[in-house]
Amino acid sequence: MAHTFTQSDRFYLDGRPFQIRSGAIHYFRVVPAYWRDRLEKLKAMGCNTVETYIPWNLHEPKPGVYDFSGGRDVAAFLKLAQELGLWAIVRPGPYICAEWDFGGLPSWLLAEDGMRLRCTYPPFLRAVRRYFARLLQVLAPLQIDRGGNILMMQVENEYGSYGDEHAYLEALRDLLRENGVTVPLFTSDGPLPRSLANGSVEGALPTVNFGAGAPEKFAVLQAFLAQTRGEAPLLCTEFWVGWFDAWGDRAHNTTPPDVCAREVEAVLKRGSINLYLFHGGTNFGLLNGANDYGALSPDTTSYDYDAPLAEDGSMTPKYNALRALFARFAEEPLPAPPPPIPKRAFGTVSVTDCVSLEAALPSLGEPVRSPWPLCMEKLGQSVGYVLYSTQVAPHGTYRTIELQRTADRAQLFFDGRPAMTLYDRELHAPHDVCLPLQHRLSILVENLGRVNYGPLLAYQRKGIDGAVLLDGRSHAGWEMIPLPMDAAMASRLDFSAGFTPGLPAFYRFRFSIEAPADTFLDLAGWGKGCVLVNGFLLGRFWDKGPQSRLYVPAPLLRAGENEVLLFETEGRACGRIAFCDSPGWREGPKEA
């Protein structure tokens, strides 16, 4: 059944005043089997709407190749929300931020030299136009005026904090309309006059994002609306109920439930709200984002965000506080939440097989050869690692090495022996070495997550994008092996090839369970790396904290035999892992 959703002095649904009480759930951070559970808990907390971003890099992983299946089936997610009586707000990008790799932009954009992002640069806009044409075939039939549940769609995201090219926003607005978007459009920015002016566009409602101080923040928005739009409804598109965690943070970021509830109430008394986030979920597949304000700060695998619904779907004290608050604004009694999802500690599992990275290389395919190093994007790779290898010519002993334009973390090996590890800004300067003639130099470079916010967005090539300088001279003759850490790569590993302790290696664990249940993988005693569970790339781990256990949803496991594959880069391995029934956070040092 078709409905109407309009705005004037306030929002109106089928001609009646409507307050948006929304919560964000990112379908791509939740396994599909749990979409219903998370949405039912959203409704039971008192929300009438779900909001989600759409990451371009998941839906067009290669130029012109689209994927809207399985965990990427956004239409199925939205239809399920409608079945449960929830309206939807959709934020299609092309840029989403979201603490997601590259702000949701596909990394293949960076394979083109000179690419410019989030502007009217023709090659960028051509790629957006192609993507929107495909994406909006999926979304347009789900709009409220066509019998679906989408109330509104966003134009870009927080553009006022990035740029001021209004022609770009106008182009995106027009692309949405040309491709069948008929519901109201909106923009969202920080509650500053300049951000609102830079990020707004005619034909879209300006809204604001903040985490406290609703009277002051809404006053800024109201003044801007009065000057530019006249009377219009007030919407906090992102009310930050918590915050994300980065590797090396001293502890898991949290905020008191009572403080959060008071601030949310202040918003509800003045306008509409979308909680960012109701449920954070997990940065599966090494697709966490990063921030960089003078130093790289990659986000943890967990995107718990101290949200009302925890990473594992548990209802927290913050959930209970907000449920009590929303019940006061609800038009009818709230439904009961679904029962908790069982969690189980499966115990300790010992390593079954192991193989060193160097020994495994012949099973991983032919290397790419080039006179100069190629960055990850030019190798057609999005996430993971690249191993660069070369033979040093017999011209004496080299004293310095410099890795130009390299990101994010490089481990250097001389004849297979660890020599040094360089991280972030350390990569941008010469370092003393003693590398004799006719020796093998190998460099394992890890992509720790592309920056998702700010002016460094355009400079996110990973791997080695410049030259390797030996005593100040560019060295030629490289072999490169992409290591995307996906199921296809893992299936090629030859565990009989050999193992040397203290070096990067793959470790395989096999174990049997009677029935799947949610669990948490404890990696105490391990250094740094990533994990695959039954071929699914779960995420990365790092002993610097604060996250010490990885959430493993039950749908990733199976009754009978299961397999966990660890890639560990530091040579710190304890030979066993443990499955626990609770998450793990601990303090960790700030050093890289």
- 590 domain-assigned: no
The sign one gets for the Cα dihedral 160, 162, 166, 171 is negative
Per DSSP, the residues of 472-512 read TEE---EEEEEE---HHHHHT--TTS---TTS-EEEEEEEE
Kindly state the DSSP code that residue 398 receives in the 8-state scheme.
E
User: Of 483, 510, 541, which residue is a domain's last?
Assistant: 483
Q: Which of 403, 399, 409, 473 is nearest to 432 (CA)?
A: 399
CA 107 from centroid of its chain's CA atoms: 13
- DSSP H or E segment with residue 125: helix 122-139
Dist. CA 592–CA 289, nearest whole Å: 17
User: In this structure, what CATH number is given to the domain that contains residue 574?
Assistant: 2.60.120.260
Same domain? For 403 and 499 the reply is: no
How many domains does the structure of the chain reveal?
3
Same domain? For 445 and 462 the reply is: yes
Same domain? For 230 and 315 the reply is: yes
| Angle at 451 (CA atoms; ends 446, 457), nearest 5 degrees | 120
At residue 150, φ and ψ (nearest 5 deg) are -75, 115
> How many CB atoms neighbour CB 592 within 10 A?
17
Same domain? For 509 and 443 the reply is: no
Kindly state the DSSP code that residue 574 receives in the 8-state scheme.
-
Task: Tell me the catalytic residues.
Answer: 158, 238
Pairing of strands 204-210, 235-240: parallel
Q: Which of 116, 139, 140 is nearest to 128 (CA)?
A: 116
- 337 domain-assigned: no
Tens-digit pLDDT string for the chain (592 aa): 899 999 999 999 999 999 999 999 999 999 999 999 999 999 999 999 999 999 999 999 999 999 999 999 999 999 999 999 999 999 999 999 999 999 999 999 999 999 999 999 999 999 999 999 999 999 999 999 999 999 999 999 999 999 999 999 999 999 999 999 999 999 999 999 999 999 999 999 999 999 999 999 999 999 999 999 999 999 999 999 999 999 999 999 999 999 999 999 999 999 999 999 999 999 999 999 999 999 999 999 999 999 999 999 999 999 999 999 999 999 999 999 999 999 999 999 999 999 999 999 999 989 999 999 999 999 999 999 999 999 987 667 888 999 999 999 999 999 999 999 999 999 988 998 877 656 899 999 999 999 999 999 999 999 999 999 999 999 999 999 999 999 999 999 999 999 999 999 999 999 999 999 999 999 999 999 999 999 999 999 999 999 999 999 999 999 999 999 999 999 999 999 999 999 999 864 444 4
Cβ–Cβ < 8 Å for 579, 522: yes
Dist. CA 583–CA 248, nearest whole Å: 17
User: In this structure, what CATH number is given to the domain that contains residue 252?
Assistant: 3.20.20.80
- 500 domain-assigned: yes
Dist. CA 51–CA 275, nearest whole Å: 9
Same domain? For 351 and 323 the reply is: no
Cβ–Cβ < 8 Å for 5, 144: yes
Report helix, strand or coil for 100: strand
Using CA atoms, how far residue 284 sits from 305, 377, 384, 490, in Å, is: 15, 20, 12, 16
What are 100's two structure tokens? 């997601």
- 289 domain-assigned: no
Burial of 331 (0-12, 13-18, 19+ CB in 10 A): exposed
CA 3 from centroid of its chain's CA atoms: 33
Q: Which of 464, 465, 466, 460 is nearest to 116 (CA)?
A: 460
Dist. CA 376–CA 587, nearest whole Å: 32
Kindly state the DSSP code that residue 210 receives in the 8-state scheme.
E
Same domain? For 433 and 502 the reply is: no
- 342 domain-assigned: no
- 592 domain-assigned: no
Residues 6+ apart with CB under 8 A from 315: 41, 308, 309, 337, 340
At residue 522, φ and ψ (nearest 5 deg) are -90, 130
What are 318's two structure tokens? 């913050």
Same domain? For 383 and 318 the reply is: no
> What is the extent of the structural domain holding 557?
347-356+492-580
What are the percentages of helix, strand and coil residues in the chain, rounded to 5?
25, 30, 40
Pairing of strands 347-350, 468-470: unpaired
Same domain? For 208 and 323 the reply is: yes
User: Of 483, 515, 545, which residue is a domain's last?
Assistant: 483
pLDDT score recorded for residue 591: 44
Same domain? For 126 and 209 the reply is: yes
Dist. CA 298–CA 249, nearest whole Å: 10
Report helix, strand or coil for 279: strand
Cβ–Cβ < 8 Å for 381, 101: no
Using CA atoms, how far residue 353 sits from 42, 339, 505, 517, in Å, is: 43, 39, 11, 25
Dist. CA 2–CA 4, nearest whole Å: 7
Same domain? For 117 and 222 the reply is: yes
Same domain? For 351 and 378 the reply is: no
- 585 domain-assigned: no
Same domain? For 312 and 247 the reply is: yes
Residues 6+ apart with CB under 8 A from 262: none
pLDDT score recorded for residue 590: 47
User: Of 447, 465, 483, which residue is a domain's last?
Assistant: 483
- 256 domain-assigned: yes
Query: Side-chain half-sphere of 176: how many Cα atoms within 13 Å?
Result: 25
Per DSSP, the residues of 304-336 read -TT-SB-TTSPBPHHHHHHHHHHHHH-SSPPPP
Dist. CA 207–CA 189, nearest whole Å: 6
| Angle at 50 (CA atoms; ends 27, 457), nearest 5 degrees | 55
